[in-house]
Structure 1
Amino acid sequence: MVAGSNLHGESFEEILETVFESAETVLLVDPTGEAVDALTTVTSAASDPPTVRLLADAPLLKDVMDDFVVASSAADHVASGTLSIRTGRGASNTLLVTDSAVWTLLGVGDRVAALGADDEQFVRAVRDTYETRWENADDFDLRTPPLSRIRETLGEEIGQDTRADFDATLEALRNAREARGEFDEVTLTILVAARNDVLLYDISKWGEDVGMASKATFSRTKTTLEDEGLIKTEKVPIDVGRPRLRLKLNEDRFDEVTPAELAAVTLNRAP
């Protein structure tokens, strides 16, 4: 790739993959939600991603980070030091700035383009301008836990079979890109837990400890899924105190109990 040359493709992922091949640092300014999604996807796939800084409008970030897949992946990159996120409007167009080039990102229909410039003085002026705006911007509070920590602790505390089903169901949801942002991660987790006969107490305690949601949210979601006939519970006596509830799928509602079907059920319940 020639620094500053115009780039064309069918997705923002293609543009970012090309830029990542030679960049050591990347500053993405005023992206669309689609561009933020693409950034987390490409960063996850890269074997040696550049250091990335994301400067975006706070309402846009809050909206796009409602998508559990995007938010948990972004949290992974923040935790590793690869990604930093700050809020504030910085440009009238979406800009991608590296040490040697500047691109304006455009999307029209099913095509995207990056219009580039590599004049040294111009690139320096742009970089200096947005470096200053970056320094004056506020950090974005990303409250979703890193996906790697979710997966690791789920396997350790609940069981490797449950983790495997969680991964497979989440992958099925990743593939349904047009509907991906419409699912609820607590619903997904409870359905996966029910497939593996996990106690409600155990999965809700894990979920609260890892930072996914409160025990109360898990309990409310369990009740909703039970009322809809998707899951059922059975009482498990304990030595002291009230019996605990074991989650089980209502197999009368499923043709097959596969992660792919759980993903489909999760999406069909989306508002």
Structure 2
Amino acid sequence: MDSIGVKTYSDCVSECIVGTSAQRWRSKSANSAFLVAVIKTLQESDDNDTTVEWLCDGETLKQLESDFLVATKASELAADGQLSIRAGTDDTGDTPTVLVSPERAISVLPLSGEETVQTEIEDEEIVGRLWEKYETEWEMGIPESIDTPPYSRLLALADHKLGPEVSEDLDSAYAAVGTRAPDGRLEPVTVGLLIGAKHDLLLRDVVEWAETTTLATQGTVSKLKQQLEDVGVVTTESENIGVGRPRQRLTLADGSFKSLSPGELVANVQSVLA
């Protein structure tokens, strides 16, 4: 045993994964807080060469996907080849969190809150045997994917279909949503509808964006739009174009909301829906 110490999850990831020469890591873990730290740190880092192969169980993956903003970052890393996920064939949920590279091995034990007891091993023989063990387990694992679209795809398609100003406001709104606890956040499509109403967009264009990104179906968008109408936040104005059904244009029901920043807008609407 070469070293032991108390650190936060983020410090552990920054120092052990991103801040070293080792660029290939395997992690076996059901600790969702640690995995969120891995995802956020990799996504925010300028290091695009480090890869993590994560062996988990299905329940942990469900927890990850339930947090939209974390899931979009994980999806982004997967699309870039920095994160791979496989479901273990044994009970991964009962094992401690382990990080292994060809050069070193790290065990991470929860302490309290964001703190963890980190045990690091650099003995070549022990590390080599651990790497072989987890390589075998990785090869036996079942490949998993994240259904949530990558964050950059959401914004790129918004830029293309809805305009650069809308894309910028969406980015700001999602950043504001991310500062709240996961169970107190607006639905990602609800955020899109609010920004769409702020810019007086056609409902069909917002629906097309949501469907193209695989974020939601037309039915889901309509349901969430109705919810915003029911609480008096959003309204729609019909535009008769002479042929076919009138188009619906989204707008904010309270004109004073127009002057709010994207972050202020989602905060105000969150308080209304709470």
Instruction: Tell me the TM-score normalised to structure 2 length.
Output: 0.90
Is 1:105–1:115's contact at 8 Å kept on the other side of the alignment? yes
- Which of 138, 141, 148 in structure 2 is aligned with 1:144? 148
Query: Does residue 63 of structure 1 match 2:60?
Result: no
Amino acid at match of 1:227: D
What is the letter of the counterpart of residue 222 of structure 2? Answer: S
2:12–2:118: 8 Å Cα contact kept in structure 1? yes
Residue 56 of structure 1 aligns with an amino acid whose one-letter code is C
Once the two structures are TM-superposed, the CA of residue 141 in structure 1 deviates from its matched residue by 2.6
Deviation readout 1:1-44 (Å, 9 max, x if unpaired) = xx9533432x3111101011112111111141111211111011
Counterpart in the other structure of 1:132: 136
Q: Is the 8 A contact 2:231 2:272 kept in 1?
A: no
Structure 1 position 256, deviation (Å): 5.2
Q: Show structure 2 runs of 5+ residues with no match.
A: none
- The gaps in structure 1 that reach 5 residues or longer are none
1:171 matched to 2:179? The reply is: no
SS of the residue corresponding to residue 175 of structure 1 reads coil
Q: How many residues matched?
A: 267
Does residue 112 in structure 1 map to residue 116 in structure 2?
yes
- Identity rate, percent: 29
Could you tell me which of 95, 101, 104 is aligned with 1:101?
A: 104
User: Is the counterpart of residue 53 in structure 1 residue 53 in structure 2?
Assistant: yes
Cross-structure match for 1:6: 4
SS at match of 1:133: helix
Counterpart contact for 1:65–1:71, Cα < 8 Å: yes
Could you tell me whether the CA contact under 8 Å between 1:230 and 1:249 is conserved in 2? Answer: yes
What's the counterpart of residue 217 of structure 2? 214
Contact 2:193–2:225 (8 Å) recurs in 1: yes
Alignment of 1:166-205 (within 5 A): 166-176=170-180, 178-179=181-182, 182-205=185-208
Deviation at 1:52, TM superposition (A): 1.0
Q: Distance between the aligned counterparts of 1:107 and 1:198, measured in 2?
A: 47
- Please provide the CA RMSD for this pair: 2.1
Alignment correspondent of 2:13? 16
Q: Is the 8 A contact 2:233 2:269 kept in 1?
A: no
Judge conservation of contact 2:231–2:273 (CA < 8 Å) in 1. no
Tell me how far apart the structure 1 counterparts of residues 231 and 184 of structure 2 sit (CA, whole Å): 22
- CA deviation after TM superposition for structure 1 residue 113, in Å: 2.8
Deviates more, 1:217-226 or 1:95-104: 95-104
Q: With structure 1 as the length reference, what TM-score do the two structures score?
A: 0.91
1:18-33 mapped onto 2 (5 Å cutoff): 18-19=15-16, 20-22=18-20, 23-33=22-32
Deviation at 1:75, TM superposition (A): 0.9
In 2 relative to 1, CA 31–96 (structure 1 residues): closer, same or farther, beyond 3 Å?
A: farther
8 Å CA contact 1:188–1:266 kept in 2: the answer is: no
Give SS of 1:54's match: strand
